A and B are shown apart, each in its own frame.
Chain A
Amino acid sequence: MYNQKVMDYFLKPINMGDMPDADGVGEVGNVVCGDVMHLFIRVGKNPAGKEVIADVKFKTLGCVAAIATSSIATELAKGKTLEQAMAMTNQDVVRELGGLPPVKVHCSVLAVDALKMAIYDYLKKQGRPIPEKLEKEAQRIRKDTENAEAHTHPHVE
């Protein structure tokens, strides 16, 4: 069902973990199956003085595809400028993994959404203006996450 690259990222995920002093945090849920992802970014500057994703970590409760896409999405995002990172799509992630089973493509949306929300959170915390496109996407993602939470109760004691 899954190709070897997906399995490799699933069995040995890269960039998995917490980042207590993150500059931005994205928390998203998946409407389709009720899974949850948290993504943390640290923002730095590249030699040209542009803001880039200097470090990124994630935590996921989800299937094999959710874990593998989270991991590869963080890897792809690392070093990108904020503009480049915001422009990433789930197709980029799926392509990089060499494809996913059709029923699992929705899992890859979780990762890029979480990245967008982390950038959104960073800009908000900095008191900076939110690009119109990001604002629109954030609205959609928040609505999806609310729906996902209505589906499930992700906090387990």
Chain B
Amino acid sequence: MEVYLDHAATTPIHPEVLVAMQPYFTEQFGNASSLHKWGREARKAVDLAREQIADKLNIMCREVIFTSGGTEANNWAIKGVAFTREASGLKGHIITQKTEHDCVLNACKWLESRGFAVTYLDVDEFGMVNPEDLKSAIRPETFLVTIMHANNEIGTVQPLKEIGQVIKTANPAILFHTDACQSFTKEPLNLKDLNLDLITINSHKIYGPKGVGALVVKQGTKLVPLLHGGGHEFGHRSGTINVHGIMGFGKAVSLASPEKNRHMQTLRDHLIKRVLAEIPGALLNGHPTQRLVNNTNFSFPGVEGEALLLRLDAHGIAASTGSACSSNTLEASHTMMAIGRKPELAHASIRMSLGWENTLEQMDYVVEVLKDEVKQLRSMSATWRRE
């Protein structure tokens, strides 16, 4: 049996998404900026996709600015806001937290090297930011708070509503950005309710193509473009528009549904319940309830993550790990360290992230394989001793 459980890394393109994209490679290949029929057809497609995404988020079409993906949108949100400060001769202070995706952390670090101040908030053992910590971190010169919606490794969903309230109560001029790449279409996300100014979303985590994403920019938000050129995307982001990719993104968003989310959640709960009950010593990483519908992440003491990952792979199961041994730097995942997992438990972590096409039968197969492989790896482990 083949079971793909790495949807947090990327998903396949849904067949209906592919069908929606296809004409835009060949017959309707026009440049969306051209005035002729070909161009108008392309423009129509982009407008439709923009509408599908705006509808999902309950915002205006003009607030959706397409990018080359989540990495670009995050970089743009953070640097684009920071550059508005530089333009006025000021630096200032950014607040983020320790389990952000590398593209957020590294963009912040780069700004630090250019004289900005950055606070990286701690999280608790479940990966949650405490809004009170945020409150005390806000300074008069704070201009941006960027806190992800759901974590890509452990699936913890941050209390964005409380965070938004804290920010805007302290100083309404502080901009609030969230990286919603993992949560988009899976968790409710509303710009106004959450007091958000900027939201990063992307396509390849939700059955759309890779290399497409968007930054949602609340009307009136000041942002310096990263890409200067012909003034595409309302002057925000230049470059000939990726029509087929955007078409796919829009279609993918329209396919997401509460039923699909419930399906993934049922599988998630089944998998978590069986693993914790049937594998001695198994630990769940992340929050027990404030958790992405499709995320599971376990540590199996006495088992190294990369070894387990490749044993699962030999059985046709795709997962991922935060183990140091599987990274080029040999450093354990910053998220596992931030939630206070000891190195040997960080090394032992396995993420299995679910998708629409997974089944209950697959979950049972995965549990059986896991039980057997964890047992085998423990039997050869120099440190695992059964009580």
Across the interface, do B301 and A156 meet the contact criterion of CB distance under 8 Å? yes
Residue of A nearest to B343 (CB): A152
Bound form: Cα–Cα A80–B157 in Å: 57
Query: Within 8 Å CB of A38, what residues of B?
Result: 382
Stretch at the interface among B197-205, B209-217, B226-234, B306-314: B306-314
B interface residues, tally (CB under 8 Å): 28
Across the interface, do B381 and A152 meet the contact criterion of CB distance under 8 Å? no
Q: How large is the interface on A (under 10, 10 to 19, 20 to 34, 35 or more residues)?
A: 20 to 34
From A37, A103, A152, A153, B382 is in contact (CB under 8 Å) with: A37
B139: CB under 8 A from chain A? no
Query: Within 8 Å CB of B311, what residues of A?
Result: 11
Residue of B nearest to A11 (CB): B314
Q: How far is the CB of B333 from chain A (nearest CB, A)?
A: 13
Across the interface, do A154 and B383 meet the contact criterion of CB distance under 8 Å? yes
Query: Within 8 Å CB of A2, what residues of B?
Result: 310
Given the known inter-chain contacts A38-B382, A61-B302, A156-B383, please indicate yes or no for A33 contacting B310, CB distance below 8 A.
no
Across the interface, do A60 and B381 meet the contact criterion of CB distance under 8 Å? yes
Stretch at the interface among B50-58, B105-113, B321-329, B359-367: B321-329
Given the known inter-chain contacts A38-B382, A152-B343, please indicate yes or no for A157 contacting B307, CB distance below 8 A.
no
Q: How far is the CB of B174 from chain A (nearest CB, A)?
A: 39
Query: Within 8 Å CB of B301, what residues of A?
Result: 156
Given the known inter-chain contacts A34-B347, A62-B325, A64-B310, please indicate yes or no for A153 contacting B342, CB distance below 8 A.
yes
Bound form: Cα–Cα A82–B383 in Å: 27
Query: Within 8 Å CB of A67, what residues of B?
Result: 307, 380
Residues 11-26 of chain A: 1 if any B CB is under 8 Å from the residue's CB, otherwise 0? 1010011000000000
Q: How far is the CB of A1 from chain B (nearest CB, A)?
A: 9
A10: CB under 8 A from chain B? yes
B385: CB under 8 A from chain A? yes
From B306, B326, B343, A34 is in contact (CB under 8 Å) with: B343
Q: How far is the CB of B84 from chain A (nearest CB, A)?
A: 40
Across the interface, do B383 and A13 meet the contact criterion of CB distance under 8 Å? no
Residue of B nearest to A102 (CB): B328
Residue of B nearest to A2 (CB): B310
From B326, B380, B381, B383, A63 is in contact (CB under 8 Å) with: B326
Q: How far is the CB of B219 from chain A (nearest CB, A)?
A: 47
Residue of B nearest to A39 (CB): B382
Across the interface, do B325 and A33 meet the contact criterion of CB distance under 8 Å? yes
Query: Within 8 Å CB of A32, what residues of B?
Result: 330
Across the interface, do A156 and B281 meet the contact criterion of CB distance under 8 Å? yes
Across the interface, do A152 and B344 meet the contact criterion of CB distance under 8 Å? yes
A155: CB under 8 A from chain B? yes
Across the interface, do B343 and A63 meet the contact criterion of CB distance under 8 Å? no
From B281, B304, B380, A35 is in contact (CB under 8 Å) with: B304
**B window 340-387: CB within 8 A of A:** 342-344, 347, 379-385, 387
Across the interface, do A60 and B325 meet the contact criterion of CB distance under 8 Å? no
Across the interface, do A152 and B324 meet the contact criterion of CB distance under 8 Å? no
Across the interface, do A156 and B328 meet the contact criterion of CB distance under 8 Å? no
Query: Within 8 Å CB of A142, what residues of B?
Result: none
Bound form: Cα–Cα A157–B387 in Å: 7
Residue of A nearest to B384 (CB): A156
Residue of B nearest to A60 (CB): B382
From B307, B310, B343, B387, A62 is in contact (CB under 8 Å) with: B307
Across the interface, do A156 and B302 meet the contact criterion of CB distance under 8 Å? yes
Query: Within 8 Å CB of B304, what residues of A?
Result: 35, 61-63, 66
Query: Within 8 Å CB of B330, what residues of A?
Result: 32-33, 103
Bound form: Cα–Cα A103–B323 in Å: 14
Binding site for A on B (CB under 8 A): 281, 301-304, 306-307, 310-311, 314, 323-326, 328, 330, 342-344, 347, 379-385, 387
- Given contact pairs A63-B323, A156-B384, a sample of 4 additional A-B residue pairs in the complex whose CB atoms are under 8 Å apart: A10-B307, A11-B314, A154-B383, A155-B383
Binding site for B on A (CB under 8 A): 2, 7, 10-11, 13, 16-17, 27, 32-38, 59-67, 103, 107, 151-157
25 pairs of residues in contact across A and B, judged by CB atoms under 8 Å: A10-B307, A11-B314, A13-B380, A27-B382, A32-B330, A35-B304, A37-B382, A60-B380, A61-B302, A61-B381, A61-B383, A61-B384, A62-B307, A63-B304, A63-B307, A63-B325, A64-B310, A66-B325, A103-B328, A103-B330, A151-B343, A155-B385, A156-B344, A156-B383, A157-B385
